[in-house]
Amino acid sequence: MNIVVLTNESDMARYFVNKLSFTVDIKNVYIEKKYNNFSKKQRVIKSIFGERCLEVLIQLKKVLKEKKSKVLELDKKIEKEKLYQYFKDFNEIVAMNKFDFYNINLTSTRDINTLKSDNIDILILFGTSIIKENILSLPKIGTINFHSSILPYYKGSRVEFWQLYYDDYDYCGSTVHYVDTSVDTGDIIIQEKIEVDKKDIFWDLRYKNIIKGLELIPKAIELIQKNEPTKKQANIRQQVFKGSMITEDKIKELYVKKGFII
């Protein structure tokens, strides 16, 4: 079975894929490059100085912004502390050279044909943007995704934040589901809850879900191979959460609620 992963260029994505490869036979890994998400000013800088220079400037701007804000500075500090609390092997796994991690532009016909040439049975998504039908239709069996909630509740991105914000712990967990053209609405293959402590913050839930996802994806693939039935999602009314909805004020509000002094 040809299993391919499409992910992003973060170190966490590299960790996730390398760790997953211990239990899943992965053929190739592709990194989604978001070439068309630049502003007009950024495109001018890119055309004159090159893409690498632009990426450095974007990261520098992000760092300077975080230094100006005590809230974001605290969040960044806790993110790093929690990362090494949950993933003691993080640096070791990230440094592994198991895959080439090919960059791919999903708007390029040539790159899509490269993906197509892998003769994919299952495409696994981790941390990508919304993927269009022309990519979803490539795998013979289907495209699957790991999502950080008990679907159909809390669709969208960074949803652990809202579970904590609303004290709604019933839906904290992970789901592996087939991907369709809507956001997190595909048939459920497997899902399990995670244990939540009342003191947990966003990064606790995020990293617990990543650990759970690494457990569930191999199980999901086994269920697919056995042709086990999936479960259609219940039709509920709930908004799709976006990362942009998490403002600095809301981050501060949640930290204060959890007992942090800012």
Residues with a known catalytic role: 147
CA distance 220 to 69: 41
- Look up residue 140 and give its amino acid: K
CA distance 198 to 234: 28
Beta carbons within 10 angstroms of residue 149's beta carbon: 25
CA distance 98 to 115: 19
251: CB partners within 8 A, 6+ apart: 71, 72, 75, 161
User: Do 165 and 124 form a contact (C-beta atoms < 8 A)?
Assistant: no
- Look up residue 213 and give its amino acid: G
Question: H-type helices in the chain, by residue range?
Answer: 11-20, 40-49, 51-68, 70-86, 90-94, 109-116, 133-136, 159-165, 202-225, 248-257
Go through 52-63 and write b for each residue having 16 or more CB atoms within 10 A of its CB, e for each that does not. Answer: eebeeeeeeeee
CA distance 262 to 69: 10
